[in-house]
Amino acid sequence: MTDVQMQDANGDANGSTAYGKAAVNGLLKEESKPAAPKQTNKEDLQLVLQSFRLLIADLCQQFGMGHPGGAIGMAAFGVALWKYTMRYAPHSPDWFNRDRFILSNGHTCLFQYANLYLSGYKAMTWEQLLSYHSERPDSLCPGHPEIEHEGIELTTGPLGQGISNAVGLAIATKHLAATFNRPGYEVVNNHTWCSIGDACLQEGVGCEALSYAGHLKLNNLTVIYDNNQITCDGSVDLTNTEDVNKKVEACGWEVIDVMDGVNDIEGIVAALEKGRDPNRTKPLFINVRSIIGVGSAVAGQAVSHGAPLGKDNVAAMKKAYGWDTEKVFHIPDKVKNFYADIPARGEKHVQEWNDLLARYNNEHPDLSKTFKDRMAGNLPDNWASMIPSSFPSDPTPSRKSNNMVVGKIFAECPTFMVGTADLTPSVNMTWPSYEIFNPPDLKPISGKQGSYKGRYIHYGIREHVMAAIANGLAAYSPRTIIPITSTFFMFYLYAAPAVRMGALQKLKVIHVATHDSIGAGEDGPTHQPVELAALYRAMPNMEYIRPGDSEEVAGAWKRAIEYEGGPTMISVSRQAIPQLSGLTSRDGVARGAYVLREEKVADVTLISAGAELSFARDVAAVLEREHKLKARVVSFPCYKLFREQPLSYQRSVLRRNEGIPAVVIEPYVSLGWERWADAGVNMKGFGHSLPGKYIYQHFGFETGVMAGRVGDFVREFEGGKVGRGDFVEL
Amino acid sequence: MTDVQMQDANGDANGSTAYGKAAVNGLLKEESKPAAPKQTNKEDLQLVLQSFRLLIADLCQQFGMGHPGGAIGMAAFGVALWKYTMRYAPHSPDWFNRDRFILSNGHTCLFQYANLYLSGYKAMTWEQLLSYHSERPDSLCPGHPEIEHEGIELTTGPLGQGISNAVGLAIATKHLAATFNRPGYEVVNNHTWCSIGDACLQEGVGCEALSYAGHLKLNNLTVIYDNNQITCDGSVDLTNTEDVNKKVEACGWEVIDVMDGVNDIEGIVAALEKGRDPNRTKPLFINVRSIIGVGSAVAGQAVSHGAPLGKDNVAAMKKAYGWDTEKVFHIPDKVKNFYADIPARGEKHVQEWNDLLARYNNEHPDLSKTFKDRMAGNLPDNWASMIPSSFPSDPTPSRKSNNMVVGKIFAECPTFMVGTADLTPSVNMTWPSYEIFNPPDLKPISGKQGSYKGRYIHYGIREHVMAAIANGLAAYSPRTIIPITSTFFMFYLYAAPAVRMGALQKLKVIHVATHDSIGAGEDGPTHQPVELAALYRAMPNMEYIRPGDSEEVAGAWKRAIEYEGGPTMISVSRQAIPQLSGLTSRDGVARGAYVLREEKVADVTLISAGAELSFARDVAAVLEREHKLKARVVSFPCYKLFREQPLSYQRSVLRRNEGIPAVVIEPYVSLGWERWADAGVNMKGFGHSLPGKYIYQHFGFETGVMAGRVGDFVREFEGGKVGRGDFVEL
């Protein structure tokens, strides 16, 4: 296809090319438009591809490690993206309206590193590129792309995550565009490009992402399928023989085939330009046939995936290309020149956008101010004052306390995009005037019609992609959108790989986990997360908070909205729980644990948290009345926050250093509590299906029973029968 | 469609009906064939449906809890399955060759309980049926179906699990049939039926199941989609507008539509009979349009899903049906009679199969003996002797030790079906003559052609469904198949919801988790599971074992194969680790922890496990040489096994009661170890991308550095600066 034909092909579809359309909106003038591939002769393009492939091969050879095959096979669509299609600015890597690129097949990270180097990202120096798999801990070329580094939008690697993040990025664009764009002023119109391999199509979370992106009609999202038909175990057909195009079409995508993904840069560019066509009504899936490790002796074979090609193979590749077999890490000047215009072109994109923004500011000054605040990640100054200073004293399910605490904030601060995995009636995360995020032309059989301005997301019964999309929303730009997810706590196990990726990337996502502990009652052990808290309490950067009443729920949200080091999970009850008014403290939550009831001379410290906090208070009363034992009571909503307190504070709360034994009461398994307690009234196995009013009793969480056990333990401890270091399961 | 037409429809397709075909193989004679729906008049069938719906409505009304809508909507295909289609024996619920039914939409459990009652399962008495959501802890009617109870094949509830389990059950049938059936002797030919709702189609694990079942051409699997277009949040189109039939077809399924799922029992039966047609080459997906809560005032609405319909609504339903509105829990005699023949018919199925087995025993005595052993769950008596008594002394990756330990067992004991999520070259779980489980007509581009006799399963990059399918394989019949799964430890987080379901059901599944701790090195923090062990150490019934060298790997496998209380996860290293020959002990593994090196008068106990066990030994040597401190060393491969030891043994291993401080060395976060140690050299955050030889050093796991920190701690502990109860992160 010639360049002219390409223009025609675009023109046929929508009356103007994507670039033409954008220019109308003042975004792109002729000078910032990249030259089409036709303007470079075929031999030079071949040299660029050869150079790229050999660079990858040499980089893996250097330290005898790495994943060469995929990156080599993807060379042509690297050129198509970085040279011809994407709008980005290597010297302004954080430009707000840049196109986002996600490498969902993250093990091919060299593909991205080499393209970042070639297109002129300043941080990715030649020396840095060569540090791949070296001993340098400060290498910008880790084994998978990491968000901390210039030009990388999100950390990828665990398969299926990147494509889900890309859906989040595309939602962010859609939402911000619907909110802030005005006729003639497309201040947000970036495109999201995502490359995937076979794995992202097999992983469940990838399937969820395809299904939901199709439903949302995200026409600003293009997925490039590196279809090399090879995975670690061999050819894909060993394990997957589905009709990928048909499946993706069934999910609501448009599909384009590119038959020669190895060399047909023009064809790939034409397909990618279809992606940017604003008249498309669906996300675009480009099925690019490629060859893993192409040009080498192991081309098309699984062995080229995860290990260097081998010295002789690389030499043979160079020979076949007519290159000097002795030269390593060689990039011909012609290739360097080929990429040389990209930084300047990028700065022109930025300048044009800045000019647009200046005109937008004149025409729509109020909107422009809000937009700038959102870009800067500012919440309204008075957000904290929207949290009530006190709460009703009657027993309240803490899932309802949530809404009392943040309902007004959600309604008034457009930064928050709140979603649920099909549990709207259970999680209480809506507000009176909430609008659904959905394609504006969708008229659902039940429920409200939505729009892309909507901030309430029905993720469907797709917990995993919900959390992964939230990561994408959060990564679009810091605090421009703060995503909230919600489902039963138990089903954050489905979402866990994505929640973890948020923690690893320190992304500001707030997860609302309802129906925690065993209060799910009659739903039974499949819905009672007795062991799951251990995972989130162990997860670095994650603040897992179990607030004990509405006041503590207020503390949990205040902390969550202020916390910039990663995600928060607020873990709340299904059932109504007593309000410990006058005892609980929102500031106490921020310290992780605090004293709820002090006794100068004490026999025992009772620790509890969340839905069962009142149990500790009640047991203390019975211990005093019936067992003549003085009990202190500690509320302990968050391990991480308490671990970060100085030892002196920790000791003042627990007073174990004074020889007072501590007993925890929580219907999770004890694992984790042994750090803070000497004994525990905990679950010893999975839960049971019994209505809420019977379930606690069934497992011995009755006040009298617990007091008896604690009393026995205190006497054994005082008598030296058990000591510190013998954690006792009561 | 008349009965005759139904027969013709079947006949057209394959020359004989499914029943006719089975009869040829001696399985079903005329007398055990159920009457077709036509033989019951339409009014009586309506009475049966009404009776069923009202029973469900009354059961939810009784205690004001429950999920009525789905079960009510599914009434007609309940009749089609239990009365007309499934081959099962209520009075012999464990009959080996019974059809399996899985309720993947497990919240509609009343559907199954009511059908179990009506079809005559002995345990499901009238009194038991009425105990749904009562205070009885021994109720056979928990909030989701549970494997422990007669007529329930697997516990379901977490969405997407059941359909994945069903794939496992269908694989089990295919494999046993290929292994044991002979011409004229179909000793294994049961069908697996699975009902799903919209959720199972949205959940990622359900998508993985559809894709893989289609690939495997499991023509013995029928999925019945209760297509009521309603989920908790409202109509499905709020969140999912994909073309389900097209998507499922793209995954390799045959699709049949049933347009009236509310009343058209004949149409459903005709579709189900297609499912059993042995000439079909694909799994069957029946898209049944139903109406949630049909017949009630809230029919077709989300509110009928998870709460009782309401007293007035139920009365109105009864009135509309012409029933006495005052009567509750009424089942007319006509309805009872309708189901009355089922137990006897079931016993005939069993008798015919027993007769077949007797003839099979005469004709194929050796095979019959093996088959009986497999049905009884017997391994060869000498399996344990196939584990080598000693191992090479050079450093060995414990992922390779695995193969040394069990390679011969896998090769010689056909009970084991071993699979991987596309990591064959990494997990080392094959044996020389292994055969792949795949459709026999599949000729993959690379790799070997397989068959249904194959015992090596390429699950693809689908960790979650791998673990869920393994649960189905294990549940087919106890120990007839022992499934092994394998992937990197980190990606058992993707599989975690299914691994948990295995633990909850005490299913014998062995998970092989390679690349544990931070040894994945250059793959970086996305592949370094620093917090994941906390989850599996906390999970009830799960034995998470980190063996420290080949000898301990032998101990781990011996325990795993013997353990009948749930799954095991054997967690091994990517990298070569020293062999502690003469110190380590396979019997020690079975006790969870044991002393590796004793010191009568000791300053500290060093604890370690897995890939880093040798670190403790080495640190002990440096402590003695350079710090003049005597260190004991404890190997601690499994929390659960150690927790189950008597206190006296625990104290003899740890000797903390003698005042000796304990320090753990493990590059996971410390959470969990605080029970057993006073300080830890642990990870404090996520990992980092650095090649294996640099990663330990980067995080301070060098012998000298660790010894210095431990020495400092011991002096602080002895000086009283920190005490027991102040866990110190070194």
For each of the domains in chain A, give its residue range(s) and CATH number, in order of start.
3-349 (3.40.50.970), 383-577 (3.40.50.970), 592-729 (3.40.50.920)
**Is the CB of A685 less than 8 angstroms away from the CB of B158?**
no
Q: Which residues of A touch B683 (CB under 8 A)?
A: 540
**Residue-wise pLDDT tens digits, A560-602:** 999 999 999 999 999 999 999 999 999 999 999 999 999 999 9
Q: Do B247 and A247 touch (CB under 8 A)?
A: yes
Chain B residue at shortest CA distance from A446: B235
- How deeply is B147 buried, as exposed, middle or buried, from its count of CB atoms within 10 A (0-12, 13-18, 19+)? middle
Say how far residue A620 (Cα) sits from the centre of its chain: 42
Classify strands A594-597 and A631-635 as parallel, antiparallel or unpaired: antiparallel
Active site residue: A186, A273, A463, A552, which one?
A463
User: What pLDDT does B156 receive?
Assistant: 98
Classify A560 as helix, strand or coil: helix
Q: What pLDDT shows up at residue A105?
A: 97
Partner-chain contact B694 A135, CB within 8 Å: yes
- Collapsing DSSP to helix, strand or coil, B659 comes out as coil
- Cα B482 from Cα B175, distance rounded (Å): 13
Tell me the pLDDT tens digit for each residue of B184-197: 999 999 999 999 99
Over residues B396-427, the pLDDT tens digits come to: 999 999 999 999 999 999 999 999 999 999 99
Answer whether residue B14 shows pLDDT above 80: no
Report percent pLDDT > 70 for chain A.
95
Interface of B with A in 502-541 (CB under 8 A): 503-504, 521-527, 530-532, 534-535, 537-541
Q: For A143-192, how does the pLDDT look when each residue is reduced to its tens digit (9 = 90+)?
A: 999 999 999 999 999 999 999 999 999 999 999 999 999 999 999 999 99
Residue A34: the pLDDT is 61
User: Cβ contacts (< 8 Å) between A639 and chain B: which residues?
Assistant: 671
Q: Which residue of A has its CA nearest to B301?
A: A446
- Spell out which residues of chain B touch residue A462, defining contact as CB-CB under 8 Å: 202-204
Number of Cβ atoms within 10 Å of the Cβ of B304: 29
Q: Do B215 and A501 count as a contact with CB atoms less than 8 A apart?
A: no
Contact B691 A204 (CB under 8 A): no
A253 vs B: CB within 8 A: no
Beta-carbon contacts of A3 under 8 Å, excluding residues fewer than 6 positions away, are: A36, A37, A38, A39, A266
pLDDT at B690: 97
Three-state SS across A368-431? Answer: HHHHHHHHHCCCCCCHHHHCCCCCCCCCEEHHHHHHHHHHHHHHHCCCEEEEECCCHHHHCCCC
- State the distance between the two ends of chain A, measured CA to CA, in whole angstroms: 76
Residue-level pLDDT at A35? 60
Put simply, whether B691 touches A (Cβ < 8 Å) is yes
Query: Cα–Cα distance between B237 and A171 in angstroms, integer?
Result: 18
Torsion, Cα B461 B465 B470 B476, to 10 degrees, reads -140
Task: Tell me the residues of chain A between 259 and 318 that have a Cβ less than 8 Å away from chain B.
Answer: 301-302, 306
Q: Which residues pair with B416 in a beta bridge?
A: B482
Burial class (CB in 10 A: 0-12, 13-18, 19+), A661: buried
pLDDT in tens, A31-50: 455 667 777 889 999 999 99
> Residue B355's Cα: distance from chain center in Å?
32
pLDDT at A4 exceeding the cut of 60? no
SS (H, E, C) A302-360: HHHCCCCCCHHHHHHHHHHCCCCCCCCCCCCHHHHHHHCCHHHHHHHHHHHHHHHHHHH
Q: Do B237 and A445 touch (CB under 8 A)?
A: yes
Would the CB atoms of A539 and B527 count as touching at under 8 Å? no
What pLDDT sits at residue B30? 43
Q: Looking at chain A, how many residues does it have?
A: 730
Handedness of CA A342, A345, A351, A356 (dihedral sign): negative
CA distance to A83, A89, A344, per residue, from A341 (Å): 9, 11, 6
Surface of A (155-194) touching B: CB under 8 A = 155-160
H or E stretch covering A79 = helix A75-79
Whether B246 has its CB under 8 Å from any CB of chain A: the answer is yes
Q: Is the pLDDT of residue B551 over 50?
A: yes
pLDDT tens sequence across A227-285: 999 999 999 999 999 999 999 999 999 999 999 999 999 999 999 999 999 899 999 99
Contacts of B441 by beta carbon, 8 Å cutoff, 6+ apart:
none
User: B156 is written with which tokens?
Assistant: 């379901």
Does residue A15 have a pLDDT over 80? no
What is the least distance, in Å, from the CA of A76 to any CA of chain B?
A: 24
What does the alpha-carbon distance between residue A464 and residue B204 come to, in Å, rounded to a whole number?
8
Buried b (16+ CB within 10 A) or exposed e, A313-352: bbbbbbeebebeeeeeeebeeebeebbeebbebbbbbbeb
Q: Count CA within 13 A, CB hemisphere, residue A176.
A: 31
CB contacts of B726 in chain A (<8 Å) are: 647, 650-651, 656-657
Nearest CA to CA, how far is A565 from chain B (Å)?
12
What are the pLDDT digits (tens) for B356-383?
999 999 999 999 999 999 999 999 999 9
Nearest-angstrom CA–CA distance, B677 and B698: 24
Q: Read off the pTM.
A: 0.95
- CB nearest to A424's CB, from B158, B233, B537: B233
pLDDT, tens digit, for every residue of A336-380?
999 999 999 999 999 999 999 999 999 999 999 999 999 999 999
Residue A196 pLDDT greater than 60, yes or no: yes
State how far the Cα of A225 lies from the Cα of A240, in Å rounded to an integer: 15
- 3-state DSSP percent of chain A in helix, strand and coil, to 5: 45, 15, 40
Task: Point out the residue among A160, A462, A685 whose CB comes nearest to the CB of B202.
Answer: A462
pLDDT at B347: 98
Q: CB–CB of B60/B66 below 8 Å?
A: yes
Mind listing the pLDDT tens digit for each residue in B663-700?
999 999 999 999 999 999 999 999 999 999 899 999 99
**Mutant choice from A253, A640, A689 vs B, greatest count of B C-beta within 10 A:** A689
Among all residues of chain B, which has the CA nearest to that of A209?
B204
Question: CA-to-CA distance for A505 and A165, rounded, in angstroms?
Answer: 12
- CA neighbor of A674 nearest in space, from A639, A708, A704: A639
Using CA coordinates, name the residue in chain A closest to B200: A461
Which residues of chain B are within 8 Å of residue A447 when distances are taken between CB atoms? 233-235, 238
Query: With an 8 Å Cβ cutoff, are A444 and B133 in contact?
Result: no
Rg (CA), chain B: 29
**Yes or no, beta carbons of B504 and A526 under 8 Å apart:** yes
Number of helices (H), then strands (E), belonging to chain A: the values are 28, 21
The answer to whether residue A692 scores a pLDDT higher than 70 is yes
Residues 6+ apart with CB under 8 A from A630: A599, A601, A602, A603, A604, A623, A624
Summarised one tens digit per residue, pLDDT across range B552-611 is 999 999 999 999 999 999 999 999 999 999 999 999 999 999 999 999 999 999 999 999
B265/B263 Cα distance (integer angstroms):
6
CB contact under 8 A, A65 and B691: yes
pLDDT value at residue A699: 98
Residue B79 pLDDT class (50, 70, 90 cuts): very high
Q: What separation in angstroms does the CA of B19 have from each of B13, B276, B352?
A: 14, 8, 14
pLDDT at residue A39, rounded to an integer: 73
| CA-to-CA dists, residue B532 to A132, A537, B385, B477, B636, angstroms | 27, 11, 33, 31, 17
Q: Is B431 helix (H, G, I), strand (E, B) or coil?
A: coil
Lowest-pLDDT range of A120-124, A143-147, A689-693, B511-515: A689-693
Query: Cα distance from B534 to chain A (closest Cα, Å)?
Result: 6
Q: Which residues contact B718 (CB under 8 A, 6 or more apart)?
A: B603
* From B463, B543, B599, B612, the catalytic residue: B463
Please determine, for residue B31, whether its predicted confidence score (pLDDT) is greater than 60: no
3-state secondary structure of B543: strand
pLDDT over threshold 70, residue A526:
yes
Annotated catalytic residue A30: no
Dist. CA B531–CA A540, nearest whole Å = 8
